[in-house]
Amino acid sequence: MKIFLRLCLCFTALLASAQHLVDQKTFDAIANEYSGEAAQENTRRIVEYHRIQGSPMMAAVAEQIVLPRLKAAGLEAKIEQFPSDGKTKYGTYISPMGWDIRSGELWIDQVKPESVAGAKDLKSIMLCRYADVPMCVSTYSKGGEWSGELVDVGSGTSDANYQGIDVHGKVALASGYAANVVREAVLKHGAVGVVIYPAADDRPDHPDMVRYNGIWPRAEELDKTSGGFQISRNQYDMLKSLMKQGAVRVHGKIDATLGPGKLTLVHAYIRGTDHPEREILITGHLDHPKWSANDNASGSGAMMEAARVLQTLIAAKKIAAPKLTIHFMWVPEYFGTLAYVSHHPEARHCDTPWDDPRNKPDAFAEGKPCIIANINMDMVGEDTVKTNSRFYFTKAPDSVVHTFLDALLADVLEQTREADLYAQTGTRNYWQPEAIPYAQGSDHDFFLGLGIPATMLGHDPDWTHHTSEDKIDKTDATEFKRVGVFASAAAHFVASANSSDAERLGVADHASRVRELAHRLAQDANADTNKPNRRTTRNLDELKNQVDRLNTSVAPSGKTGRAIIAGKTGSGPHRLTILTLDASAFESASPDDKKWLAEQEARFASDSEGLATKPNFALISFEAVNFMNGHRGTAEIADLLSAEYLLDIDQAWVDRLVSILEKQKLVSR
């Protein structure tokens, strides 16, 4: 017994030597309380709703599932709504129309009789039924009934697809994004409806999957828009073989309503004791089609459990009461967050004056409400073996001056791995989480666009993403527990850090930045060994600066942040709108500008079906505009972009981008 006790003590001492930022007692309390099963159960309740942005079903899941469960856990919680009507704009985005669907079906209507003599009754072949596979009806489909001959128009998204093809009064069979196909086929070329099939290279090894797709009509298109359906690859192949024999007609019937709607958000708060006006904001999008589990009922369900766990432990005084407010926000993806930051100027950067595109001269002031950091949870519950994915968190791009979140998350991730957490009903999957460069596509984008440190927690690649295969059976209580504990512990640390925690975090921040810059230099040296270049010099200077700061940050006066990246005092372009930019912002660009933009899309194309694995144009242009704070010239911005992405971007390139953005009133000089 004595020997055993001694061994135990040694073991404890070894563990304690890890010296993580989050105090081990706090971490363990969170790990013991957080239930992967409860997060999964929340998810199971959420997926029963067809949760489309702006739809009454989205309000229903917020009111019937999320809000009552938060209140039952003792949290301060409320609902907030914003107009969503196909014309109200938030930033550069037009809000979706409200949409309610009751049923939808697509059947083969008839095949030319002579071609099917003796064949089975083709009228009995159903291609889609909303009740069976909710995402087989394109979201925002207009209600109505139509039938017509199928005409394959390829991607169906450009005029070229319709040359020499008459779709008038017919049904376009296309592989492009439904919104673009409907604009071309229905609005421009007179088709009555659309049927969308998967492109040949889109996950061909899963031929029965149906993809998520949407029409997104604007208010002024309401009269002319129509409905759409998605079919699987196998259904498409069957239709194509029938079409070889003769004309094939289909019959679509959708019972749905399009009209003014609302974006519904849910808030929950654990108020801070010292600075309740400063908050750590945890977000997750509550929307997506019925049964869609990992995206993103999982993030929503995991957040509900995180809120319960922190509330419970704080109330029981098992972990420290937070000094800052912990704010949880469930949103309609993108639109809800953009509406929120558009209506709430207090959704602003803390501590540093920021060139706020919302044009508030007093955007920053001591003691005013602000967001210290954002943790966005999007697709967090994967059974990583079934989905063949791995957990990641995204790091901040260089334009975000305060980077402490990257260093904190890296350390808490290590601590979570060491804890070797399992849920009793979950898997024993090996956990290989990763910190990856900033990737776009979820609600963290808007906070980064406001200079706020922000991260996305998710899984990638995931072959089930945005398909009928993303179901509750692809989730794992163990993964919920690991990610939920990781996020909860990190959020609690930010909210409750004292000055010595902040100093330790400062050291970790410089160390993490040194690692990043050293990695960049090593990569760059491989690419170009002889030619001295400006980006290498810039990264080297920043590395030296961070090493200096690492040396001095042991002293209490050490400040965090990125001195060189923070920008010189000079003058240059500055942004006039909240990032990110919607493609619709360039609709009125000149043909020449559109051509340049298209060339950049091609030059910096993403090479991946999932998260981009190299910087694409959307990301580079986002970061370029984020650097446009009025104090940096275009030459400096070109150097910053080159250094960050190890690309050759020159001043002329940035000037061209600025001139296009200026014409659209998105940037001014």
Contacting residues toward Zn ion, per CB under 5 A: 295-296, 378
What is the distance between the alpha carbons of residues 587 and 406, in angstroms, rounded to a whole number? 36
Query: What's 632's DSSP letter?
Result: S
What is the distance between the alpha carbons of residues 479 and 252, in angstroms, rounded to a whole number? 40
Q: Assign residue 264 a region: left if phi > 0, alpha if psi is -120 to 50, beta otherwise?
A: beta
Q: What is the nearest approach in angstroms of Zn ion to the Cβ of residue 51?
A: 11
Residue 209's identity, in one-letter code, is M
418: helix, coil or strand?
helix
- Helix (H) / strand (E) element for 263: namely strand 261-270
Task: For residue 574, list its beta bridge partners.
Answer: 629, 668
Q: What is the nearest approach in angstroms of Zn ion to the Cβ of residue 424?
A: 28
Q: What is the nearest approach in angstroms of Zn ion to the Cβ of residue 442?
A: 6
The nearer residue to Zn ion, 355 or 479, going by C-beta atoms, is: 479
The nearer residue to Zn ion, 296 or 467, going by C-beta atoms, is: 296
Residues 481/34, Cβ–Cβ less than 8 Å: yes
Q: Which two tokens stand for residue 534?
A: 């400006």
The nearer residue to Zn ion, 296 or 629, going by C-beta atoms, is: 296
Q: What is the nearest approach in angstroms of Zn ion to the Cβ of residue 378?
A: 4
What is the distance between the alpha carbons of residues 457 and 389, in angstroms, rounded to a whole number? 13
Residue 368 class from Cβ within 10 Å (0-12 exposed, 13-18 middle, 19+ buried)?
middle
Q: What is the nearest approach in angstroms of Zn ion to the Cβ of residue 177?
A: 16
The nearer residue to Zn ion, 295 or 445, going by C-beta atoms, is: 295
Q: What is the nearest approach in angstroms of Zn ion to the Cβ of residue 459?
A: 10
Q: What is the nearest approach in angstroms of Zn ion to the Cβ of residue 120?
A: 41
What is the distance between the alpha carbons of residues 337 and 241, in angstroms, rounded to a whole number? 45
The nearer residue to Zn ion, 296 or 616, going by C-beta atoms, is: 296
Residues 384/434, Cβ–Cβ less than 8 Å: no
Q: What is the nearest approach in angstroms of Zn ion to the Cβ of residue 294?
A: 8
What is the distance between the alpha carbons of residues 220 and 87, in angstroms, rounded to a whole number? 8
The nearer residue to Zn ion, 189 or 288, going by C-beta atoms, is: 288
The nearer residue to Zn ion, 296 or 399, going by C-beta atoms, is: 296
42: helix, coil or strand?
helix
The nearer residue to Zn ion, 265 or 521, going by C-beta atoms, is: 265
**Residue 284: closest CA among 261, 262, 307:** 307
Q: Which two tokens stand for residue 267?
A: 């808030």
Q: What is the nearest approach in angstroms of Zn ion to the Cβ of residue 441?
A: 8
The nearer residue to Zn ion, 292 or 616, going by C-beta atoms, is: 292
Residue 583's contacts (CB-CB under 8 Å, 6 or more residues apart) are none
What is the distance between the alpha carbons of residues 32 and 485, in angstroms, rounded to a whole number? 9
